[in-house]
Structure 1
Amino acid sequence: MQYLLLLSAIAVEVVGTLTLRVAANGRAALYAVVAVCYVVAFVALAGALRHGMPLGVAYGVWAAAGVAITAAASRFLFDEPLTRRMVAGIGFVMVGVLLMEIGAAH
């Protein structure tokens, strides 16, 4: 259950962040969608914590996955840059989160 809640938090946060990009470009009514997405994301993240997921792992996975998915999606949706160096940085963050996950298991 904790991983389902964490995946939900990630998905809703990414939708909120991508919507923020659209809202910032002149569609101000979408700020309400952004706010709802962020509230739902935090509630889902809190649910993952309530179900026993360690905070460092939950936040690390949430942040890293959010950055990676948002960067990839914004490349395709908004034609924003996603350079090799940026992809390498995302990879390093993901390795760090994996190490935190492994460390939390001991």
Structure 2
Amino acid sequence: MPYVLLAAAIAAEVGGTTAMKYSEGFSKLWPSLITVVGYVLAFALLAQVLKSMSVGTAYAIWAGIGTAAIAAIGMLFMGEPASAAKLGGIALVICGVVLLNLGGSH
């Protein structure tokens, strides 16, 4: 169950961050509200995950997968360039998360 909640926390954070891009510095109401709700939900869910998962593992997964997802969204939907360095960085972030999980953190 913690991984389901963690996936929901990641989705909420990614949704909030994506909406932040469209809020234009919090000058547009709906994207701004979606940003706030997304982040409140993300942290509430992450707090629940931390009841049964180590903070290092949970945060690494949350931040790493969130970062990779936002970078991919930027490249796929927002016209950001997809360089070899950026793609390699995303791969390294994902590898780091996998290594932390294989390291036996609970």
What TM-score comes out, normalization by structure 2 length?
0.90
Q: Are positions 1:39 and 2:40 aligned together?
A: yes
1:32-87, CA deviations, whole angstroms, 9 ceiling, x for partnerless residues?
2101100000011111111x111111100111110111111122221112211111
CA 1:47–1:97 in 2, change beyond 3 Å: closer, same or farther? same
Q: Please state whether the residue corresponding to 2:82 is helix, strand or coil.
A: coil
1:22 match: 22
Q: Which runs of 4+ in 1 moved over 6 A?
A: none
Q: Which residue identity lines up with residue 74 of structure 2 in the other structure?
A: S
- Structure 2: unaligned runs, 5 residues or longer: none
Q: Which has more helix, going by share of residues? A: 1
Q: Which residue identity lines up with residue 34 of structure 1 in the other structure?
A: T
* 1:72-91 matches, cutoff 5 A: 72-91=72-91
- Structure 1: unaligned runs, 5 residues or longer: none
Q: Identity of paired residues, percent?
A: 37
- Equivalent residue pairs, number: 105
What TM-score comes out, normalization by structure 1 length?
0.90
